[in-house]
Amino acid sequence: MPLLQSTSEQMSTFIFDHPLIDGKLAKLRSRTTPVALFRQLVEEVTTLMLYEVAKTCPAPPNRWKRRWP
């Protein structure tokens, strides 16, 4: 789960402590990573980060009303 560090009300920083993200970032940093793999890894890391950040967001209120008894 990402740690949230807030320096002001408008800006928040997430620190990701996830083994999959760490492994993919290590491959991204390598100078020998081919361009196609680099792009794929960026997409995968982005998806994992989005998932981790979304877990911290509150669920929206239920706006659907039951219409059955």
Of 7, 15, 4, 1, which Cα lies nearest the Cα of 52?
1
2 within a domain of the structure (yes/no): no
9 within a domain of the structure (yes/no): no
64 within a domain of the structure (yes/no): no
36 within a domain of the structure (yes/no): yes
4 within a domain of the structure (yes/no): no
41 within a domain of the structure (yes/no): yes
- Report the 10 Å Cβ neighbour count for 49: 15
Length of the chain: 69
Give the separation between CA 19 and CA 25, rounded to whole angstroms.
10
Domain residue limits at 49: 16-58
38 within a domain of the structure (yes/no): yes
pLDDT tens-digit profile, the chain (69 residues) = 555 555 555 667 788 888 999 999 999 999 999 999 999 999 999 999 998 888 888 877 777 666 666
Number of domains in the chain: 1
68 within a domain of the structure (yes/no): no
Give the separation between CA 22 and CA 25, rounded to whole angstroms.
5
Give the separation between CA 16 and CA 69, rounded to whole angstroms.
45
